């Protein structure tokens, strides 16, 4: 079955720097990969979706890359701000149906 690996250790960075989060998967290559943001006590919020035939996608200060050879996605937040502090979840489609498989997430702390 598909496994998603995200760094369980929190990432601490200084305001203004670029945060880079990693998502690795172990089995089949998904048709698409998504990133969500989750704040404490709240449900996840969709950020970006990248398809298997796309190498990179950008949205404002966010950038996602997708390397199907390495089975890895990188999520970048440029010019990070304390308001970017949250848990970021990687999610893949399940080819057997309409389900989505979520990683455990990486907690990001941006210090002012």
Residues 7-66 touching other proteins, rule: CB under 8 A, are 32, 34, 36, 41-46, 49
Specify the residue, 65 or 103, whose C-beta has the smaller distance to other proteins.
Answer: 103
Q: Which residues contact 53 (CB under 8 A, 6 or more apart)?
A: none
Beta carbon nearer to other proteins, 15 or 54: 54
Q: Does 98 bind other proteins (CB under 8 A)?
A: yes
3-class SS string, 35-57: EEEECCCCCCEEEEEEECCCCEE
Minimum CB–partner distance for residue 46 and other proteins (Å): 5
> Is residue 93 within the footprint of other proteins (CB under 8 A)?
yes
Residue 90 CB-density burial (10 A; 0-12 exposed, 13-18 middle, 19+ buried): buried
Tokens of 53: 């035939």
Token pair recorded at residue 97: 């149906």
Name the residues that contact other proteins, by CB under 8 A.
4, 32, 34, 36, 41-46, 49, 89, 91, 93, 97-100, 102-105
């Amino acid at each position: 079955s598909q496994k998603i690996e995200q760094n369980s250790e929190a990432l601490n960075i200084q305001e203004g720097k670029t945060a880079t989060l990693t998502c690795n998967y172990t089995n089949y290559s998904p048709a698409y990969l998504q990133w969500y943001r989750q704040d404490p006590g709240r449900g996840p919020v969709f950020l970006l979706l990248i398809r298997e035939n796309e190498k990179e996608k950008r949205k404002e200060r966010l950038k996602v890359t997708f390397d199907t050879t390495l089975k890895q996605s990188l999520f970048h937040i440029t010019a990070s701000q304390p308001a970017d502090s949250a848990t970021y979840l990687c999610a893949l489609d399940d080819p057997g149906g309409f389900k989505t498989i979520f990683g455990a997430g990486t907690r990001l702390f941006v210090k002012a």
